[in-house]
Amino acid sequence: MEKTRTRKLNITFESDMESPPAKKQKAGQKSGGSKGKVSEFIALASVPLVLVLGNSMLVPILPDLQDRLGISKFQSSLVITLFSVTAGLIIPISGYLSDRFSRKCIIIPSLIIYGAAGVLAGFGAVWNSYTTIIIARAIQGLGAAGTAPIAMALAGDMYSGGTESKALGLTEASNGTGKVISPILGSLLALIVWYAAFFAFPVFCLLSLLAVVFLLKEPKKGQPAPKLKPYLKSIGTILKEKGRWLITSFFAGSLALFILFGVLFYLSDILEEAPYNIKGVKKGFVLAIPLLGQVVTAYTTGALIKKNGTVMRWLINIGLALMTAALGVCSITLGKNLYFLIGLLTLSSIGTGLLLPCLNTMITGSVEKQQRGMITSIYNSLRFLGVAFGPPLFSWMMDISHATVFITVTSLSLITLGLAFFLIKPKGTIS
């Protein structure tokens, strides 16, 4: 035990939720029963789930969108990209506001905006108005900025230690679960009418809204709301002190989502072409296979890592190595065998499932509660930008050659692996 105590971590994880007095424990719901935690976990997980459904459900219907509205492949990819770019730019603002006021004060109106804009996008599809759809998607991006990134910060506020890692792993698994069921759900809804997915968003947003309002009890702030100038100075100090590993972690998370959504776009396109000719619900199930590997891995990883820095470092490097190896083999085989291609992309997704929960836990625990909203928002902003640029850049690379797609992402994964190996070095038990 003495040996364990003397081992220190290069990165210090702090939380004002550690060892609170009895009254504060009650406010944070840390000492509640298992039923309370389950309901809280469900409410927290519903937020990233809704966020993903609002984006990934549209992937299977992008070819229909092109045909019905007479637009190009690039224009259809902007339906995903504009949403994600808008969210990525607004997320840091939402993060500051959540630190200054409260997490729920940002999440609740954000879900309302997200759902309402979904209705507008649906009517844009009914009217065959590409302009209306694009405007609505930008508004949805504004709403999305205050959802999952703030929920991640809220999980860090509410829990500590192994419970925090489990909660963050669950939010990442929920994010992945949304990606798994989205292609299937989007394809099933398209059987009713091709634009039905747009109108499904408000229903899911309403359910998540009710869960957040009635099931989550946010811990009370222990300190007064930060003013902008000293707040920004404190963020600058954090980035100066921990920037080497924080920025590397930001880049790794962004790259993982860039590859994941780019691969979804790639698969959605090639599956409908010869020799595969896979469309509709069947295509949705095929798209879900790699994502299922990520979901199972992410949840298991989040439940097991707790605060073990050594384990996190191993899993981050193993995850990036799996991504590099699997995508590298794809660049050689170039999808000549569909089963082999799906297997390799599933292996890459498993690598992503190992990587993201570790990054989430490290980044969320790296700062005190007063700056947590901004730091997690910067991280999530870059993740959103990764999602945003995945489809259009993959579309551009596909026009060059399929080999270009996989050589590029393999090279990026290898570079990130090298950066992570040398710059992200937690050791021992995180304190």
Q: What is the pLDDT of residues 227-280, one digit of tens each?
A: 777 777 877 888 888 888 899 999 999 999 899 888 888 887 888 887 888 887
Q: Are 404 and 185 in contact (CB under 8 A)?
A: no
**Does 325 score more than 80 pLDDT?**
yes
Sequence spans of domains, the chain: 33-215+223-423
The fraction of the chain above a pLDDT of 90, given in percent, is: 26
22, pLDDT greater than 50: no
Segment 144-160, tens digit of pLDDT? 888 877 888 888 788 87
What's the pLDDT band for 101 if we cut at 50, 70, 90?
A: confident
The pLDDT value recorded for residue 378 is 84
Rounded Cα distance, 55 and 83, in Å: 8
Quick check: 388 pLDDT over 90?
A: no
Residue 13 banded pLDDT, cuts 50, 70, 90: very low
Mean pLDDT of the chain: 82
Taking 80 as the threshold, does the pLDDT of residue 5 lie above it? no
> By percentage, how much of the chain surpasses pLDDT 70?
88
pLDDT computed for residue 277 by the predictor: 84
Q: What per-residue confidence (pLDDT) applies to 173?
A: 78
Residue 414 has a pLDDT of 97
Return the pLDDT at 427: 65
pLDDT at 29 over 50: no
d(CA 164, CA 358): 12
Answer whether residue 26 shows pLDDT above 60: no
pLDDT at 62: 85
Tell me the two tokens of residue 313. Answer: 């470092």
Residue with tokens 């298992």: 34
Integer Cα distance of 425 and 404 in angstroms: 32
* pLDDT tens per residue, range 103-137: 899 999 999 999 999 999 999 999 999 999 999 99
* CB neighbour list of residue 267: distance below 8 Å, 6 or more residues apart: 286, 287, 290, 345
pLDDT band of 223, cuts 50, 70, 90? low
Q: For residue 109, what are the contacts with CB-CB under 8 A and spacing of at least 6?
A: 146
Euclidean distance between CA atoms 62 and 49, whole angstroms: 20
Please report the pLDDT score of residue 429 as a whole number. 56
The residue assigned the tokens 């190896």 is 325
pTM of this prediction? 0.72
Architecture category of domain 33-215+223-423 in CATH: Up-down Bundle (1.20)
Q: With contact defined as beta carbons under 8 Å apart, do 110 and 144 qualify?
A: yes
